Amino acid sequence: MLDRPNNSSPQNIAKRPCCIIAELGLDEHDVVLDGVVRWLVLDRALFREATRYILKRKGDSVRLRLLGDDYPATILGTTSDGYELQFDNPMDPDVVDDLVSQHLTDE
């Protein structure tokens, strides 16, 4: 179960499953986590840290680095699948389409 505020429901979001090598920078702690983006939409992503255990985080300002580009975001909540991020600014639809098309997975 995602540790997410009640007013943040992704049921109406068509998640785009993918596997994109990425880094998540935790701004406050100057820490960078290696991992993958498991799904991506215009204003959100699910980042899975490349470790066995995921720390429960919420509300942290972060930077998601995808193929050399940084996208400022906030951690909405944590599941065993990873951190759900909300971008500070929605991504360009063409960029999302290109990234997902190149790194598409069945799930």
For residue 32, which amino acid is it?
A: V
Residue written as token pair 């909405």: 76
What is the tally of structural domains in the chain?
1
pLDDT, tens only, 59-80: 999 999 998 999 999 999 998 8
CATH of the domain at 71: 2.40.10.220
In a domain, 96, yes or no: yes
Per-residue pLDDT, 15: 80
pTM score, two decimals?
0.81
Per-residue pLDDT, 53: 79
In a domain, 7, yes or no: no
Question: Which letter does DSSP use for residue 104 in this model?
Answer: B
